[in-house]
Amino acid sequence: MEKSCTLVVHFDKGTPALANEIKEALEGNDVAAKIDALKKAIMLLLNGETIPQLFITIIRYVLPSEDHTVQKLLLLYLEIIDKTDSRGKVLPEMILICQNLRNNLQHPNEYIRGVTLRFLCRLNESEIIEPLIPSILSNLEHRHPFVRRNAVLAVMSVFKLPQGEQLLDSAPEIVDKFLSTEQDPSSKRNAFLMLFSCAQDRAINYLFSNIDRIIDWGEQLQMVVLELIRKVCRSNKGEKGKYIKIIIALLNAPSTAVIYECASTLVSLSSAPTAIRAAASTYCQLLLSQSDNNVKLIVLDRLNELKSSNRDIMVEMVMDVLRALSTPNLDIRRKTLDIALELITPRNIDEVVMMLKKEVVKTQSGEHEKNGEYRQMLVQAIHTCAIKFPEVASTVVHLLMDFLGDSNVASAMDVVVFVREIIETNPKLRISIITRLLDTFYQIRAARVCSCALWIIGEYCLSLSEVESGIATIKQCLDGTYATQSAALETAMSPPTLVQGSLSSIGNLRSLILSGDFFLGAVVACTLTKLVLRLEEVQTSKAEVNKATTQALLIIVSMLQLGQSSILPHPIDNDSYDRIVLCIRLLCNTGDEIRKIWLQSCRQSFVKMLADKQRRETEEIKAKAQISNAQPDDLIDFYHLKSRKGMSQLELEDEVQDDLKRATGEFTKDADDANKLNRILQLTGFSDPVYAEAYVTVHHYDIVLDVTVINRTKETLQNLCLELATMGDLKLVERPQNYTLAPESSKQIKANIKVSSTETGVIFGNIVYETSSNVLERTVIVLNDIHIDIMDYISPASCADVAFRTMWAEFEWENKVAVNTVLQDERDFLNHIIKSTNMKCLTPPSALEGDCGFLAANLYAKSVFGEDALVNVSIEKQADGKLSGYIRIRSKTQGIALSLGDKITLKQKGTA
């Protein structure tokens, strides 16, 4: 078992010093050589070496030195050497250092006094400290604050020793008196900390006797006051009203650290609207006043927590939160928009949308390279606002349509998807949107955006003028500046010469199709077909209809010829060829049933898709809603019947909110006892002399093992130690100490472990002890391994299809798991995988309907460390009824891909 250490120094093991060399240097008169030798001795001791022969040399040659550096290093040396024997008795030679320490405590130099007092704070041997107590107390009256602040800490450490109350029983009274006259902020803080730790009643009395001056106290002292308030209010909730008033007063403190702590303390202690509003306002001020991006992100996290529990109050703050968009950092902007979008109401929607529109306009300036990405976020935010409140769509849709030709394809795609949804959900805007789209269509540069815009033109051009304009726009974009030339002639006469950036001189559709994008060509053919079919319904002149039909056929056949020619490096693909041929056949021979499918069924499918999307969003909102159940016999206090005597408005509000929470069951949200039992792991067998079991608590970055150890023998177990080691990205924070366990008694031992990434980790170890009958023989009991489940770190999350595909292409780690299951239904297997991996299915239920013997779905989850986990499930039912296929996992880090793969391999054979 390693002993505890109070200091860490870098040690280069490549050049170890020899004890003889160190001894010679210490005996010499060269101060620099002594300093170097002392440093080497300290580093050897810290790394497990024992140099007992040096002690007397140091007492003789180093102790008398007047050099400050030598004296400081001497104290570090004395701090780390063993001062007791194997039985815990103080070594007799330690008496030699007592007189030196007393001399230091009375030294004329304040630095020597201060560092010696600080050294005494780390001593645990009462035999050494006892003769020094009068000298420690005398330093409380020293003229220099450096000495006084360390003297207070020394008094506190003496009082906290196991025999401290016998050694210095009047310490609280002495420090209380010292605090009432002290002026130095650091000394006052240390004194108040001593009372807070050792005599809480005295600290509270001092706090309330100086309540009017708290705002003028130093930052460090104010922080200790807040810590005291938290501790007192947790143990005595009935008195928190008077403490909350102190916190409210401290919100005006000049220190931003104190203000942040005040807001956090207010939220943790009170549910009163006044207190929550004050905390939210403070967070918003910090969000704007602090330049550090990390601070802004932390404050946004606190605001997000407030939004979840106090949405009504946060709604008032939405415009203050949105002011954080002025920060150029994209993570901050993304978090700000996420918070704001959940706070929009009919009362503030106009202000929010106005703010977002201003931000969109700002992105047109090319100052920042990530303007395109930020614009995409803003478009998505405006889209969300318009879906929740359709009346605002008219104010934003035309502005956003200016960005259909955006060089950022993702941003332009978001705009066109938004336009497609708005034109269906807001029929009043249809004419203006179609007119604007036809005017700006030539600006679109991305094939995917063109495809979506063409679908809109084909579905929503209804009047004669709109249909004719739609056909004319497509023709012009296909023929470029030479609108009179036929596509067939162009194709036959000149090979395609597409130059990047030359899309403005020739039609955008023409240049994209000439580059080999025949999927877009098929979309053009379908759109022209729809427009011609609709023209037959709205155009009375049969000659005009025939003319438009022949022009459309000419364009479509020309595209087909281009696809089959040798001019392009790659011929047209089969799917696009089939679709274009279908369009030609349809224009040559139209039936009523086919017309109905093309002109009505497509729109109906889109309407059904929107309705399905809205239904899923509504279900998600309902699932997120807090469900609180009060027990039948719970006490409910009535606000109007409560005594108000001596209570401020804030205290009344706090009482009422507590009553409401109690009545609605929010105070009884603790985890179910059955779930707690599931986390208890047996570490040793029932026949082992020591029985051990652990209760494992996983909380984000921390794992706490609460280990119960039971001595099942009739002997006393000495130096019992729980030795743990970890594998994976787990790290032990501290090593448990040695314990003595009486016969048939038990002991609770806690071990803290830090987690740094989403990875299945393993904790293993032993219990080592000695028996009273045989001290020399150590018994070792090997513990069962504790496997930390990856499911504790990941939670279901949502992301757009575009974002999923982008991450899928970028992430370098992939784990491919073959399907091996007894389940025979595709959807049952998918649901089993979703449940086993704690992920969310991004593929809508409507896309999984039907029975075709094949299923493909995308799953997504996010870890507490911000890592993304992507899963694609592709399965097929074989002729014998068994399922086959693959589950592919992708992530940015290897750990999450491997751990999820192992989890799926383990769980997929089971039943849902």
Contact 431, 392 (CB under 8 A): no
d(CA 443, CA 432): 18
Neighbours of 231 (CB within 10 A): 14
d(CA 379, CA 390): 15
Q: What is the pLDDT of residues 563-601, one digit of tens each?
A: 888 888 888 999 999 999 999 998 888 777 888 888 888
d(CA 634, CA 302): 31
What pLDDT score was predicted for residue 497?
42
Q: How close are the terminal C-alpha atoms of the chain, in Å? A: 46
DSSP secondary structure, 805-859, as one string: HHHHHH--EEEEEE---S---HHHHHHHHHHHHT-EE-S-GGGG-S--SEEEEEE
Tell me the whole-structure pTM to 2 decimals: 0.70
What pLDDT score was predicted for residue 495?
43
What pLDDT score was predicted for residue 10?
57
DSSP secondary structure, 765-788, as one string: EEEEEEESS-TTPEEEEEPPPEEE
Say if strands 730-732 and 746-755 run parallel, antiparallel, or are unpaired.
antiparallel
Contact 709, 692 (CB under 8 A): yes
* pLDDT beneath 70, residues of the chain: 1-17, 48, 88, 366-369, 480-507, 623-678, 700, 735-736, 757-760, 774-776, 909-912
Amino acid (one-letter) located at 120: L
What pLDDT score was predicted for residue 437?
92
d(CA 96, CA 459): 98
Cα dihedral 752, 755, 756, 761 in deg (nearest 10): 130
Give the domain 677-788 fold. Answer: Immunoglobulin-like (2.60.40)
d(CA 104, CA 121): 15
d(CA 478, CA 66): 93
Tokens of 231: 């501790």
Give the domain 793-908 fold. Answer: TATA-Binding Protein (3.30.310)
H helix runs in 365-407, sequence order = 371-388, 393-401
The helix/strand/coil state of 550 is: helix
What pLDDT score was predicted for residue 640?
54
- Cα angle for residues 606, 612, 618 (degrees, 5° grid): 140
Helix axes 518-538, 447-460, angle to 10 degrees: 10
Tokens of 206: 């001092």
What pLDDT score was predicted for residue 401?
87
Q: Nearest-CA neighbor of 275 among 244, 301, 299, 239?
A: 244
What pLDDT score was predicted for residue 666?
52
d(CA 404, CA 436): 11
